[in-house]
Amino acid sequence: MFDGFAPAELDATHPTPNFDRLKREGAWSRHLVPAFPALSLINHTTFATGCWPEHHGVVSNTFLDPKHGWFSHATDQDDAIWRTGCETMWEAAERQGIHAAVFNFVDRWRGKKQLASIVNPEVLWKDHEDDETILQRAFKALKDNSPNHPRLITLYFEYPDSVAHGNGVTGPKTQDAVRRADAIVGRLMAALKALPPSREGTLLVGTDHGMKDTTGFINVTRLMNMYDIKATAAVDGASAFLYLDKGESADRVQKALSAYPNAFTVYRTGHYPPFAHLGNSIRVGDLMLVGKPPYRMVDSSALPWYVGWTGGNWLWSPIVNTGPGVVPSTHGYDPAVVDMHGIFYLWGAGVRPGEIKRLDQVDVHPTVMKLLGLQPGRSMDGHAIAAVQ
């Protein structure tokens, strides 16, 4: 999996011989539709489990859990302890006697227990092993011809997302990151081609979400100050959960915040639109704000310090169209925003080539399990795609 890979990032980049070859010889789609909000962690977990967030419990990159407290993708380990249900593809494979290897992907550990036969160490997101290290680990696992060799190998790479946020969907640096991804794809294809005749392999390349250029932001801290909202906010990308203090009125807050229909929509827990498979747990708060392009949604912690210092959280308009805090691109919108859709490729054994019009993020897990000839995880929500023979 590559993070934050929109088809538009690939369209802008040349040459990409390996992605071109995947498309020529394999099954492909421009519409891998993410779970909402279109953020990383929620979609890593959906990709791995085939479950919607209402079932696996990881509802955003940052959320408040009554038992475990705050979770943040940036500062906590992406441990399976945060998952409330469902099985990852590697847990389902191991349960059926098939060994799996998982490198830098979330949910490979639950506390001190590793969830696949081969995993790399659990560290904070920012301290991940580098690409070359996990590639060498993957090649070693792939070359293992012993009877118990891993038949499922899962890798995670943090770009183009990490580059595109600061450089835009089609920026030169984003294109460099796409070419890096293309080179990795080429090396993985070559490694699969080099397998002995007694073995065959399939390469699946996917992403957690797409990316969209932005030209403004919604300052949630400013909104809360402006309307004297007594609540805690979990804000990321283009959405925010509000956890109201005792005594604060959801009706009042919803009414006050409904004054910005061009910038964002306010939903009450349990009254979400059909695209949100978030359930009703306390993790999603009492109200959810969903930004509309071209705005991203931030709180004061995500803005440069001088925004607060110059009165940004008390004096400025909560809807900002220019100046500090505006970044080139983001994600997290609802899946009707087509730029949130990501790339998807399937190449090699068992694949019927051709275009797949669209698939949901929950369909990846059952597709992988079908390729392996195994049952999918317990209580999963997706369907294996027809391109698997």
Least Å from the CB of residue 339 to Zn ion: 13
Residue 360 as a binder of Zn ion (CB under 5 A): the answer is no
Footprint of Zn ion on residues 170-229 (CB under 5 A)? none
Select from 82-90, 156-164, 219-227, 381-389 the region that touches Zn ion (CB under 5 A).
156-164
Footprint of Zn ion on residues 1-40 (CB under 5 A)? 4
Residue 236 as a binder of Zn ion (CB under 5 A): the answer is no
Going by C-alpha positions, the residue among 1, 46, 8 that lies closest to residue 338 is: 8
Select from 48-56, 91-99, 161-169, 353-361 the region that touches Zn ion (CB under 5 A).
161-169
Select from 41-49, 61-69, 90-98, 154-162 the region that touches Zn ion (CB under 5 A).
154-162
Contact status, residue 5 vs residue 340, Cβ threshold 8 Å: no
Question: Of 3 and 91, which has the nearer Cβ to Zn ion?
Answer: 3
Least Å from the CB of residue 2 to Zn ion: 12
User: What number of chain residues touch Zn ion (CB under 5 A)?
Assistant: 2
DSSP state of 191: H
Task: Give the Cα separation of 122 and 127 in Å (integer).
Answer: 9
Task: Give the Cα separation of 47 and 365 in Å (integer).
Answer: 6
Question: Of 4 and 312, which has the nearer Cβ to Zn ion?
Answer: 4
DSSP state of 128: P
Contact status, residue 279 vs residue 58, Cβ threshold 8 Å: no
Least Å from the CB of residue 39 to Zn ion: 7
Dihedral pair phi/psi, residue 266, rounded to 5°:
-110, 130
When CB distances to Zn ion are compared, the closest residue is 161
Q: Helix 172-193 to helix 17-25 angle, to the nearest 10 degrees?
A: 50
Residue 161 as a binder of Zn ion (CB under 5 A): the answer is yes
44 CB neighbour count, 10 Å cutoff: 24
Select from 82-90, 153-161, 247-255, 314-322 the region that touches Zn ion (CB under 5 A).
153-161
Least Å from the CB of residue 389 to Zn ion: 34
Question: What are the CB-based long-range contacts (under 8 Å, 24+) for 299-305?
Answer: 299/219, 299/220, 299/221, 299/233, 299/235, 299/240, 300/219, 300/221, 302/235, 303/219
Question: Of 6 and 372, which has the nearer Cβ to Zn ion?
Answer: 6
Least Å from the CB of residue 160 to Zn ion: 9
Q: What residue spans of 294-377 are helical by DSSP H? A: 305-309, 364-371
Least Å from the CB of residue 40 to Zn ion: 6
Least Å from the CB of residue 162 to Zn ion: 7
Question: Of 72 and 114, which has the nearer Cβ to Zn ion?
Answer: 72
Going by C-alpha positions, the residue among 86, 31, 76 that lies closest to residue 53 is: 86
| Residues making contact with Zn ion (CB under 5 A) | 4, 161
